[in-house]
Structure 1
Amino acid sequence: MGTIVNGANGGFKGKAGSIIGSSWKSINYIKGLYKKRSKPASEAQMMQQEKFKTLMRFLLPINFFLKIGFGRKNTEKLTPINAAFQFNLDQAITGIYPDYTLDYSKISISDGSLYGGGTVGVSYDAGDLSFTWSTDDSETFETFSDDMVYVLAYHPEKDEFISTPTPSTRAAGTVSFTVPEHLATGAVHTWLFLSNRSKTKVSKSVYLGEIQLI
């Protein structure tokens, strides 16, 4: 694929002979017409395709979180979900082809330089999942009471995510929500991260562990 920086004719869209012109985020591209594959995919290609499916199946439903957690990563060339995919590809996938699985403890929902939640934790009691974090704010570390806190839980057996309807704040120190009845068995994996109010800075996400639901 070629990138059109400048030229006498500028960028174009559509088909012209054997090439196709398109643009994305004000960047003009040209690429050749698709050619039907005559050779079967190699084992390396099939392995990469299987890794892609395994990881993207997890990431797609949480695009809202990824837009915040990876929204500042190489935005000129990558969407947040693609940035999250690249970030997690080498560290979160385990197993041997074709039986790949995810190591949830190594999955990152966000990555940035904002100071995180300090002492963090999660617990489950009487149907409620509760997250806690430190409430200290610091002008030195540019952390403030209105920093936003995002929590996330994933139920692998049901393949469903749950979270709060809206983010909490650093000053709150805790947030709880009721686990839906159809998910209140088995276990969930949990994460937490923060952003500033304008969502221009985020912390690294923290994996809080696997929580058994009774």
Structure 2
Amino acid sequence: MGKYIKGILGSFQGKVGTVIGSSWKGIEYMRSRGKKSSKPPTQAQLIQQAKFTLLVRFVTTIGRLLTVTFKDSAIRMTGVNSAFAYNYDNAITGSYPAFSLDYSKVLVSKGQLHNAINPVVTTAGNGILKADWDYEAGVAMSNATDNCIVVVYCPELNQSVYKMAAGERSTRTAQINVANFNGRSVETWIAFITSDKIDVSSSFHTGRFLVS
């Protein structure tokens, strides 16, 4: 028998009535026990499974980051679950069975802190990506000491690299070494987090690049 201790949207393990609580690769979920059936899955079930698998594949590469960068929007759920829910609803494109992620709509951070002004990412050679942005003192929900978060994802390898303190907002620049992705295309995002790691901004997709 399972034990349910975190409220209606909380996680639990085991069986509670006709519901089973479980966790898969950091994604907590509930499913009906139901009866064994020899019937093939419905089209709706196949669509849901395909979307779930696609998004879990990406989210698990930055799971630790999401526990911090989505905690502001995580109401009675983990940051990972909150990120999964947002991107499931907003960042999946295409039709079954050829779903894909629209990386320009993917968020790797969600919060109220002001994001970068005019952010640009460029390749600097030797496996280095360089992020630059403008800074204006006195902007609401923006501090000179906010740290820039840089996230780089390689779809081909299904691997991510990120830095949570790549550079302070007032320095207007940051770098990240992604030499392990050399010769491959990567998707990039930047966001900001306060020095005490309490407040975060929503991320900004800064484009796709070929690492060289």
| TM-score, structure 2 as length reference | 0.81
Structure 1 residue runs without a partner (length 5+): 1-14
* Distance change in 2, residues 1:60/1:98 (3 Å): same
Give the structure 1 partner of residue 167 of structure 2. Answer: 168
* Distance change in 2, residues 1:28/1:46 (3 Å): closer
Two-structure CA RMSD over aligned residues (Å): 2.4
AA aligned to 1:185 is G
Aligned with 2:183: secondary structure?
coil
Structure 1 stretch displaced more, 37-46 or 81-90: 37-46
Q: Distance in 1 between matches of 2:181 and 2:72?
A: 33
AA aligned to 1:60 is T
Q: Given that residues 87 and 107 in structure 2 are in contact (C-alpha distance below 8 angstroms), is that contact kept between their aligned partners in structure 1?
A: yes
Identity of matched residues, % = 29
Aligned with 1:197: secondary structure?
coil
Q: Given that residues 21 and 28 in structure 1 are in contact (C-alpha distance below 8 angstroms), is that contact kept between their aligned partners in structure 2?
A: no
| TM-score, structure 1 as length reference | 0.80
Query: How many residues end up aligned between the 2 structures?
Result: 193
Q: Distance in 2 between matches of 1:59 and 1:82?
A: 9
* Distance change in 2, residues 1:178/1:167 (3 Å): closer
Q: Distance in 1 between matches of 2:7 and 2:198?
A: 19
Give the structure 2 partner of residue 31 of structure 1. Answer: 16
AA aligned to 1:91 is N
Aligned with 2:5: secondary structure?
strand
Aligned with 1:133: secondary structure?
strand
Larger CA Rg, structure 1 vs 2 = 1
Q: Given that residues 149 and 192 in structure 2 are in contact (C-alpha distance below 8 angstroms), is that contact kept between their aligned partners in structure 1?
A: yes
Q: Distance in 1 between matches of 2:146 and 2:7?
A: 29
TM-superposition CA deviations, 1:11-52 (whole Å, max 9, x none): xxxx3xxxx432237979882143443243211011101101
Aligned match for 1:196, one of 177, 194, 197:
194
Q: Given that residues 186 and 211 in structure 2 are in contact (C-alpha distance below 8 angstroms), is that contact kept between their aligned partners in structure 1?
A: yes
Shift of 1:89: 1.1
Aligned match for 1:208, one of 180, 183, 206:
206
Q: Distance in 1 between matches of 2:7 and 2:75?
A: 9
* Distance change in 2, residues 1:46/1:122 (3 Å): same
* Distance change in 2, residues 1:165/1:145 (3 Å): closer
Give the structure 1 partner of residue 103 of structure 2. Answer: 104
Shift of 1:129: 0.8
Give the structure 2 partner of residue 142 of structure 1. Answer: 141
